[in-house]
Amino acid sequence: MDIGDRIKHLRKQKGLTLEELAARSELTKGFLSQLERNLTSPSIATLDDILEALGTSLSEFFKEDSDERIVFGASDFYIAEKDDHTIKWIVPNAQKRAMEPILLELPPEGRSFDMAPNNGEEFAYVLEGSVTLCCDDKRYTVRKNETFYMKCNSFHHLENEKKTPAKVLWVSNPPLF
């Protein structure tokens, strides 16, 4: 972060001259000029005084603007193709978020990777075909337009026992894929 530039921007946004800010913050015009040109650095106390004169706080001053993307398209996806399944990570850097969604494509007789027991939860929605959710020694059929939601307290994976491809939107919290 460019502190001097940010102070200058705030000062101009408030319509203040260097002289006016100097008078309000009880600092010299020369010091503020050097600060805005990044020729000197303020102490925390001095920065707090300047920001108070500008009508803001330290927390607001250092708050980062959020340019976080919220819409992603096919060109953003990361794809990993295996012999028995294809994974599409449909949200870039999802491992840094609370949830990690993937699009899992299983060819006929395809099988997903194994998921180990953990403290998370998973949700899946079958978009096409039908899959079998295998949890330890239990098997559940999940058809098109059906979902599963589970705590991840057992080894599990998905299988496509049909002769048609299956496509599943699978979401893990925390990110595990």
Listed by start position, the domains of the chain span 3-62, 74-173
Write down the architecture of domain 74-173 according to CATH.
Answer: Sandwich (2.60)
Confidence at residue 2, expressed as pLDDT on a 0 to 100 scale: 84
* Lowest-confidence segment of 41-45, 50-54, 64-68, 92-96 by average pLDDT: 64-68
Local confidence band at 69 (pLDDT 50, 70, 90 cut-offs): confident
For residues 137 and 168, the answer to whether their CB atoms sit within 8 Å is no
CA-CA distance, 125 to 173, in Å (whole number)?
A: 15
Local confidence band at 171 (pLDDT 50, 70, 90 cut-offs): very high
Mean pLDDT of 149-160: 95
Angle between helices 44-53 and 18-25 (to 10 degrees): 120
CATH topology of domain 3-62: 434 Repressor (Amino-terminal Domain) (1.10.260)
Confidence at residue 70, expressed as pLDDT on a 0 to 100 scale: 87
* Cα 83 to Cα 108, 112, 113, distances in angstroms: 11, 10, 11
Sheet with 138-143, side-by-side order of all strands:
138-143, 130-135, 156-159
Q: Is the pLDDT of residue 41 over 70?
A: yes
Both structure tokens of 1: 């972060």
Question: Model's pTM, two decimal places?
Answer: 0.62
